[in-house]
Structure 1
Amino acid sequence: MKIRSNNFKGPSFPEKSNPKRIRNTHTSRFAFNFSFLTRDSKYNLDSNSKTINKKVRLKLLERIYQLSQEDIVRVLGYDKQQGLEQIPEEKVKLRIHPEFKTSERYNECEDDYWVFRIGKLGRAIGKKNKNLFYVMSIDASFDQYNHG
């Protein structure tokens, strides 16, 4: 039996204009979310905070900019001074925003906390879900986990 090339039909794919087409998501860089910062004003961006001043806010913005400019794989490969550090949840003293748990986002995230340094001014503590980094606390008093 001879196979003729004009009888072969390959799979058909939907056209690009098809509205049901699955859209690609971009997960190569971090996106930062502040929706679930702790309600404790000592560790959030509340204007009345006694620990989070303008210097901390400015450095935090600078670090987020830096971390979002690199591919996630590179950021996770950096040492803890430049990139992220993983800390077991039981070693961090943090009251999680209640809506973070009720929205199921907590269950979608990795088990541990992730931390990035805000220079010598503090640490940002959060949960990570693929490329999404939920900033949950800003520790400018260095008392939410053992820094030893």
Structure 2
Amino acid sequence: MSINFKEKNKNKDAKNSNISWLDKLRQSSDLRVVWNLSFISQNKKYNLNNPNVNHKKMITKLEEISKHSLVAFANLPRSSGVEFLDPNRVQGKLANMNCPPSFGKLREAAAVNKWFSIRFSDCSRIIGKRIDNTFYVFWIDPNHDLYV
């Protein structure tokens, strides 16, 4: 017995198109935040090799956030250390920085048009972009000098 792949996908597509926006939200509300460090800066001032990075605090913060669903994460108050920055309004070095070239134009187009910033100690931050529930870390800013 063989299965007609096109027919199977056709039924699946028809089924998905009938899902209401509320049901789609409920489905996505279980997505957990995940991290990708593949595109982290090669500049030692803004990567894991910087001696001022408190690795333990950074990993603890990423673990803490990973326990949240994407919806819960997006609604965390700024006081929790999570901030989304409009690239047109940010001041400092970050205003002149772009996604790393290795990130690629397709990923850049798919990414949310805001930087995310996560504080993990007194003045240290992680900065990057988000696509769906994946957060791509580009810079680790242990000296708080990428933006004001």
- Determine what percentage of the aligned residue pairs are the same residue: 24
Structure 2 unaligned residues grouped into runs of 5+: 13-26
**Matching of residue 30 in structure 1 with residue 28 in structure 2:** no
Task: Name the structure 2 match of 1:65.
Answer: 63
| Ranges in structure 1 where 5+ consecutive residues have no aligned partner | 1-13
1:89, CA displacement in angstroms?
2.0
What is the number of residues matched between the two proteins? 122
What is aligned with 2:101?
A: 98
The residue matched to 1:89 in structure 2 has which SS?
A: coil
- Structure 2 counterpart of 1:145: 147
Residue 52 of structure 2 corresponds to: 51
Name the structure 2 match of 1:81.
79
Runs of 4+ with deviation above 6 angstroms:
19-22
The residue number in structure 2 matching 1:122 is 124
Shift of 1:67: 0.4
Question: Do the aligned partners of 1:38 and 1:95 also contact (CA within 8 Å) in 2?
Answer: no
Report the TM-score, using the length of structure 2 for normalisation.
0.71
Higher percent of residues as helix:
2
Q: TM-score, normalised by structure 1?
A: 0.71
Higher alpha-carbon deviation: 134-143 or 26-35: 26-35
CA distance in 2, matches of 1:145, 1:40: 17
Larger radius of gyration: 1
Partners of 2:125 and 2:77 lie apart in 1 by 15
CA contact (8 A) 2:81 2:120 kept: no
Structure 2 Cα separation of the partners of residues 95 and 40 of structure 1: 14
